[in-house]
Amino acid sequence: MDIDWLSLLTLVPVLVLSMTLHELAHGYVAYRLGDPTAKLRGRLTLNPLKHLDPMGTAMFFLTAIFSNFIFGWAKPIPVSPYYFRSRQRGMMLVGLAGPLTNFALAVIFAVILNLLAPMFEISSPLRDWVFELLFRALQVNVVLGVFNLIPIPPLDGSRVVGGFLPRRAYDVWVSIDRYGMFIMIILIVFIFSSPVGNRIADAQLALFRAMLPALF
């Protein structure tokens, strides 16, 4: 198997930036809503070592090598919802903060790529690397945002769904979090053992074409 080492090395700063800002957004919103947990545990920081999860980071690289669909995860921000005035609303806002941050970053990188499109028409090692870096940044942030909005515990999308549930249903919904790792494993196996993974990759490419009309 031929491995594109330039692409893999380019993933490093992209992953560090994307996952750090994703988790920092969760912690900052929780802090603004009255929860000091993340701050007290040193997680309100731009230091990536505080946010990276070894297995989640490894999954990014493995999927980058063996699949067209790249995904992974960071170390979850600790949140104590009992500090919030409304537990459900607070968790919904905290959950939304991470994906929305990734989508904002994706839009920024898409704008930059479109503005620099004329520069990429002439190939050179430096220009190719710049394009690879910016495109990877766009790709990773789209994947992080979309994947985390899947409404399955413990992903951020489950927090959004929880914000609209009746209280009794919410308590049951939250209790599913304890099975989060098993659910994630089943979800990963399902994606990569069925046509779903290819369909997601195709949808991702279609989205990039819409965001980068100057490049496609």
Q: What was the pLDDT predicted at 196? A: 67
Q: Give residue 136's pLDDT.
A: 86
pLDDT of residue 108: 95
Contact residues for 124 (Cβ-Cβ < 8 A; gap 6+): none
Residue 66: predicted pLDDT: 72
Q: How far apart are alpha carbons 140 and 108 in whole angstroms?
A: 13
pLDDT of amino acid 28: 96
Annotated catalytic residue 23: yes
Position of tokens 């990188």? 109
User: HEC string of the chain?
Assistant: CCCCHHHHHHHHHHHHHHHHHHHHHHHHHHHHCCCCHHHHCCCCCCCHHHCCCHHHHHHHHHHHHHCCCCCCCCCCCCCCHHHCCCHHHHHHHHHHHHHHHHHHHHHHHHHHHHHCHHHHCCCCHHHHHHHHHHHHHHHHHHHHHHHHCCCCCCCHHHHHHHCCCCHHHHHHHHHHHHHHHHHHHHHHHHHHCCCHHHHHHHHHHHHHHHHCCCCC
**What's the one-letter identity of residue 196?**
V
Q: Which residues of the chain have pLDDT under 70?
A: 1-4, 6, 67-71, 191-194, 196-197
Of 10, 21, 23, 98, which residue is the catalytic one?
Answer: 23
Paired tokens of 16: 């560090």
**What pLDDT does residue 67 have?**
66
pTM of the model: 0.86
Domain regions of the chain by residue span: 5-211
